[in-house]
A and B are shown apart, each in its own frame.
Chain A
């Protein structure tokens, strides 16, 4: 395949950037999107140019590091991560626009790499359970109903990639935060911190400068792990419950 790429190039956080055009040839439809960028970068290095910086780690769809907006869609046209997107999703001769996640809370570090540590701080604010860890506990000591376990697992699937923020017209982190809040709220291990967790995580989310939810639904469409929009409804419910109870503690 022969493709024209228009890639966001930005030397550093405090410099201006622009889209640069590159032609790539001999791309196999079986390559992943990142492998296609590797081909481009090998050539750029040989030509003595600065290679395109982009985030990646596992390349198997589980770490959440890869983060590209491809033709205006977070993680591109398929419902998967950029590393699991294959070039067969494009056609020979296509022009493809590649941009970084755009959000005030995710500043560009270089080219296509953004700083997502705002997510880490949201997790630090409450996305944990304070239990003594040691040897693995007896699995039947704390029974969890199957439906609750499934619900928790569905939300635990979030890999923290930030596609939801990138897709949201308001740069909101509601889907990410709701995934973690819902995951821990139904489990017995999460019960002691149920109220403080949601209050603190939402407060941190606001403090980081993410936008609010207008229920446009773009986040759930972009999420590679299928976290549903109704998770946000669930978090709103948790937040209201915690606010009602906060006075009693």
Chain B
């Protein structure tokens, strides 16, 4: 006897991806890695603050002219911005939806509580919220200048020194960068698992890479306010 053949049609790939918890996690992993790549480049660029106002401002200007003459003034910059906005929105939306599913799936807590999983793992949600709020503040502070007293358009060096000359500027920034380190520590390794790139033999290498990335990013970003606080950058 022949078995019946399945002929039902499956939903489109995009639907399958977005409707599935595994697929949505893939969206998180890919958008997270895009942001991570950007942050590595951003961190290295920021360190140019140590070479003085001329070089830093020149670098900031170059960001607007990359790709010319093929690209028009600021086109490349806007392209990067659009990719990042899409990544942040996709990441945050999936994070919100997946977190809601997770909380609903475990409505009753155990009466006997135990300390469990690492700090980086437990702080992904709140750490993510801190990063989201930080991104908004950071844009209003150093991109638009909305919350920055004495903001000078086109003078990023002076603006950075301005921000890190206030105690709250330093505090917000340093707390956010510590949160970033924790997020990347669990996030990078998680993304490898989500994308199916992890394995028993690769696990140590992936964890080590996650730790090194987290450490370098946090240290590299924090070096800027520390430079201003210590007067090395002024």
Q: In the bound complex, what is the Cα–Cα distance between A238 and B195 (angstroms)?
A: 10
Taking A104-B106, A211-B101, A246-B10 as contacts, is the C-beta distance between A236 and B193 under 8 angstroms?
yes
Does any Cβ of B come within 8 Å of A111's Cβ? no
Docked CA distance A105–B105 (Å): 7
Q: Is the CB of A72 within 8 A of B113?
A: yes
Any A CB within 8 A of the CB of B37: no
Task: Provide the A238-249 mask, 1 if CB < 8 A to any CB of B, else 0.
Answer: 111101101100
**Chain B residues, CB < 8 A from A35:** none
Q: Does A15 contact B (CB under 8 A)?
A: no
Q: How far is the CA of A170 from the CA of B199 in the complex (A)?
A: 23
CB pair A202 B196 closer than 8 Å: no
Within 8 A of B (CB), among A49-79: 69, 71-73
Q: Which of B116, B195, B200 contacts A228 (CB 8 A)?
A: B200
**Most B Cβ at <10 Å: residue of A99, A171, A236, A239:** A236
Binds B, one of A24-32, A135-143, A212-220: A212-220
* Residue of chain A at shortest CB distance from B25: A212
Q: Is A226 close to B, CB under 8 A?
A: no
Complex: how many Å from CA A52 to CA B119? 37
**Is A102 on the interface with B (CB-CB < 8 A)?**
yes
Give which listed residue, B20, B101, B108, B121, contacts A202 with CB less than 8 A. B20
Does B145 interact with chain A (Cβ within 8 Å)? no
Per DSSP, are chain B's interface residues mostly helix, strand or loop, or mixed? helix
Q: Is the CB of A170 within 8 A of B117?
A: no
Q: Which residues of A contact B109 (CB under 8 A)?
A: 102
Q: Which of A99-147 contact B (CB under 8 A)?
A: 99, 102-105, 130
Would you call A171 and B105 a contact (CB within 8 A)?
yes
Contacts A19-B111, A105-B105, A172-B102 known; A233 to B199 CB distance under 8 Å?
Answer: yes
| B22 adjacent to A233 (CB under 8 Å) | no
- Taking CB atoms, residues of chain B closer than 8 Å to A216 are 116-117, 121-122
- Distance (Å) between the CB of B46 and the closest chain A CB? 30
Q: A8-B111, A170-B102, A196-B6 are in contact. List 20 more A-B contacts (CB 8 A).
A: A69-B110, A71-B114, A97-B111, A102-B109, A103-B105, A104-B104, A105-B105, A169-B117, A171-B105, A206-B21, A212-B25, A213-B21, A216-B121, A228-B200, A229-B193, A230-B200, A233-B192, A233-B197, A237-B196, A240-B195
Please give the residue numbers on chain B whose beta carbons come within 8 Å of chain A beta carbons, in ascending order: 3, 6, 10, 13, 16-17, 19-26, 98, 101-114, 116-117, 121-122, 124, 186, 189-190, 192-200, 203
